[in-house]
Amino acid sequence: MNHNDHAIQLCSVSRSHKAGDSAVTALDRVSLSFPRGTFTAVMGPSGSGKSTLLQCAAGLDRPTSGSVTVGGTELTGLSETKLTLLRRERIGFVFQAFNLLPALTAEQNVALPLRLAGKRVAKARVREVLRQVGLGDRARHRPTEMSGGQQQRVALARALITRPEVLFGDEPTGALDSRTSREVLTLLRSMVDREGRTIIMVTHDPVAASYADRVIFLVDGRVNGELTGASADDIAARMTRLEAVPC
Ligand SMILES: Nc1ncnc2c1ncn2[C@@H]1O[C@H](COP(=O)(O)OP(=O)(O)OP(=O)(O)O)[C@@H](O)[C@H]1O
């Protein structure tokens, strides 16, 4: 596989934070590649560096050392302006909190990233993305008139409107009940299978992680191994072992 087949590559990425006189190493020389058209879950005990990994890979945070490449563009050394543009145009995010604007309808929320980028908003495109997430008939509804799962699907549509190369999720199903969570995960899975999208998702939930092609485990800021095509039970068993490691 040549490097163009990778949506994101991390090469020996470290990130430390100053904490008083000492430093906390959130990520310690992590090297990972995320092939295009795959769904990866990132798991690990609390404080193992999952969010930091996601933020560095998505250009939201800068590594202390090492390099991150998004579709052939190396992020190290990009100015803040270039990094902001890259995030806006090439990367999509969904978080545990849906972060929808309550005063706006679903279609207005979905169009927001285009408006913020000063781009023309094609109504047909907004409707198409809403249809893709199963909300073709909810375009005029406001967030308070929708269920949690529907709101997360609006957030997904908003992340997809710019046709990002990679979609990042930080606990995207964390606020949903298990049935709604399954609906959103099935949708994510089908985006990878049908449209060849690349998804990287941090989760604590072995069932959510079992929808991914690959699960990467982090411990103390380092990659501690991975599972491919694993069941929720296998993933849960691995997590139990990792969490049992004494400090
Ligand atoms: N801004 C910061 N300043 C100091 N330390 C930080 C900062 N951000 C993260 N850390 C530390 O880096 C380590 C990794 O944090 P991170 O949030 O990436 O872990 P996580 O695996 O996402 O945790 P959780 O599952 O609890 O959300 C932790 O020890 C955390 O305390």
- For the CA of 55, the nearest atom of ligand 1: 18
What pLDDT does residue 76 have?
87
Among residues 124, 95, 92, which one has the least CA distance to residue 107?
Answer: 124
pLDDT at 181 over 90: no
* Greater model confidence, 4 or 91: 91
Q: What is the pLDDT of residue 5?
A: 83
pTM of this structure? 0.91
Q: Which of 25, 48, 224 to mutate to test the pocket of ligand 1 (most atoms within 8 A of CB)?
A: 48
Would you state the structure tokens that stand for residue 112, as one six-digit string? Answer: 């927001």
Region 65-83: mean pLDDT is 93
Domain extents for the chain? Answer: 3-243
Q: Distance of CA 225 to CAs 120, 159, 218, 239, 242, Å?
A: 44, 29, 8, 11, 11
Residue 246 has pLDDT above 70, yes or no: no
Mean pLDDT of the chain: 92
Q: Is the CATH code 3.40.50.300 the one for domain 3-243? A: yes
pLDDT of 150 strictly over 60? yes
Query: How far, in Å, is the centroid of ligand 1 from the Cα of 102?
Result: 30
Is a pLDDT exceeding 60 seen at residue 247?
no
Q: 54 to each of 26, 58, 109, 167, 195, how far by Cα in Å?
A: 12, 6, 24, 11, 22
pLDDT tens-digit series, residues 214-232: 999 999 999 999 999 999 9
Q: Which band of pLDDT confidence, cut at 50, 70 and 90, is reported for residue 27? A: very high
Distance 222 CA to ligand 1 centre (A): 13
